[in-house]
């Protein structure tokens, strides 16, 4: 399913988790792995009187970056994964996106911290910017996989559908992934708990959406569980993934333009910062979304 995977690392524990996950996926799928570390210009932090000038600091940063990706290349090699490394200066999100396009990556893997309190209101700036602007699917992870490289990374996926073209796209992507990796699938639709003139919102549309998605999944030979919930969408996605013992969550997101590309959707963002599970954000262009819409009508 994947041929070229890009993982970005800065040496933090959460980026180490992303690296471990990317190596595990590459070992499982036979994909090529590209490892990128982005070097940030240290000039604004350097104190020439203490450090001997900016050039000295630049040399240290470059050396540390090269040592970091060399260690990861050794780690990938031990897992039997083909690996290419990049150590580049620039803005972090922009460099990740540029490298992903340059390398024809079909998956970007990023790490994110486990946050609490008010910090959970927004995703880390790098993961947010990359997830919002990337043309490829972006996998955001917070902890390393608990399996050896090459083994299945889980048994069950959860994918949420709301009837939008991008959520239909996520359903199709999840079905394909589950079919290829022989995973089971939990299809979820959440009816927001709102009232109209004292009555609960009709959930018949949600049942129809789930029935169509279930039919596609069963046709692909995927063992499928269907769940209809009422309440807060973000909370129900996270809670259902836990109750159904899912190993990852798949969400769809629009490929937006202009200022809207500064952040991913509120639901995707809220799920990512709340769940400890890996979250795969599947993106689609307007043309691809139209194709999905037509295909699902036939």
Let me know: does 128 contact 265? Beta carbons within 8 Å: no
pLDDT recorded at residue 292? 40
Q: Clarify whether residues 70 and 191 are in a common domain.
A: no
Q: How confident is the model at residue 63 (pLDDT cuts 50, 70, 90)?
A: very high
Q: What is the pLDDT of residue 289?
A: 39
Q: Are residues 23 and 141 in the same domain?
A: yes
Type and span of the H or E element at 218: helix 204-219
Buried b (16+ CB within 10 A) or exposed e, 156-172: bbbbbbbeebbbbbbbb
Q: Is pLDDT of 219 > 70?
A: yes
Are 10 and 142 contained in the same domain?
yes
Q: Kindly report, residue by residue over 72-109, the tens digit of the pLDDT.
A: 999 999 999 999 999 999 999 999 999 999 999 999 99
- For residue 258, is pLDDT > 60? no
Q: What is the pLDDT of residues 224-236, one digit of tens each?
A: 999 999 999 999 9
Highest mean pLDDT among 154-168, 195-209, 278-292: 154-168
Among all chains, which residue has been given the structure tokens 């608990």?
146
178 and 283 part of one domain = yes
Cα–Cα distance, 171 to 220 (Å, whole number): 12
Single out the residue of 7, 48, 47, 10 nearest to residue 31, CA to CA.
7
DSSP-derived secondary structure letter, 262 = G
- Residue-level pLDDT at 265: 59
| CATH code for the domain of 116 | 3.40.50.620
Residue 84 and residue 170 share a domain: no
Show contacts of 174-177: CB within 8 Å, 24+ apart.
174/250, 175/216, 175/217, 175/220, 175/222, 176/1, 176/220, 177/1, 177/250
The reply to whether 163 and 271 lie within a common domain is yes
% of the chain surpassing 70 pLDDT: 79
pLDDT at 257 over 70: no
194 in the same domain as 125: no
List beta partners, residue 108.
6, 138
For residue 230, CA distances in Å to 87, 123, 240 come to: 47, 25, 11
116-133 mean pLDDT? 64
Same domain flag for 159 and 123: no
**Last residue of some domain: 152, 174, 199?**
152
Does the pLDDT value for residue 294 go beyond 50?
Answer: no
Instruction: Please indicate, yes or no, whether residues 13 and 143 belong to a single structural domain of this protein.
Output: yes
Say what the pLDDT of residue 133 is.
Answer: 87
Asked which of 95, 127, 152 is the last residue of a domain, the reply is: 152
* End residue of a domain, out of 92, 119, 152: 152
The model carries a pTM of 0.85
Whether residue 210 is found in the same domain as residue 90? no
Query: Where on the phi/psi map is residue 153: left (φ > 0), alpha (ψ -120 to 50), or beta?
Result: alpha
Structural domain count, the chain: 2
pLDDT at 32 over 80: yes
Distance CA 238, CA 170 (A): 17
- Please check whether residues 142 and 258 belong to one and the same domain: no
Domain that holds residue 266: 154-298
Q: Residue 273 has what pLDDT?
A: 83
* pLDDT band for position 222 (cuts 50, 70, 90): very high
In this structure, the answer to whether residues 288 and 193 fall within a common structural domain is yes
pLDDT in tens, 17-26: 999 999 999 9
């Amino acid at each position: 399913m994947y041929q070229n995977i890009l993982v970005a690392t800065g040496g933090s524990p959460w980026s180490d988790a992303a690296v471990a996950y990317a190596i595990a996926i590459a070992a499982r799928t036979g994909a090529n792995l590209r490892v990128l570390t982005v070097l940030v210009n240290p000039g604004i932090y350097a104190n020439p009187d203490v450090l001997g000038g900016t050039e000295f600091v630049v040399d240290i940063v470059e050396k540390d970056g090269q040592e970091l990706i060399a260690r990861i290349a050794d780690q990938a090699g031990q897992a039997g994964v083909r690996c290419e490394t990049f150590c580049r200066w620039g803005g972090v999100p922009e460099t990740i996106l540029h490298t992903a396009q340059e390398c024809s990556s079909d998956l970007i893997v990023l790490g994110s911290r486990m946050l609490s309190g008010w910090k959970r209101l927004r995703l880390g700036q790098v993961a947010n910017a990359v997830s919002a602007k990337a043309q490829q699917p972006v996998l955001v992870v917070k902890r390393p996989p608990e399996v050896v490289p090459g083994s299945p990374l889980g048994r069950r996926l959860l994918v949420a559908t709301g009837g939008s073209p991008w959520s239909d796209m996520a359903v199709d992507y999840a079905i394909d992934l589950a079919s290829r990796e022989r995973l089971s699938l939990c299809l979820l639709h959440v009816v927001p708990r709102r009232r109209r003139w004292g009555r609960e919102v009709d959930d018949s549309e949600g049942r129809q959406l789930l029935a169509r998605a279930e039919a596609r999944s069963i046709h692909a030979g995927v063992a499928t569980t269907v769940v209809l919930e009422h309440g807060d969408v973000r909370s129900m996605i996270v809670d259902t993934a836990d109750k159904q013992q899912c190993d990852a969550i798949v969400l769809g997101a629009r490929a937006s333009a202009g200022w809207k590309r500064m952040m991913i959707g509120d639901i995707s963002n809220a799920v990512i910062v709340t769940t400890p599970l890996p979250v795969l954000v599947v993106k689609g262009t307007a043309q691809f979304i139209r194709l999905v819409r037509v295909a699902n009508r036939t």
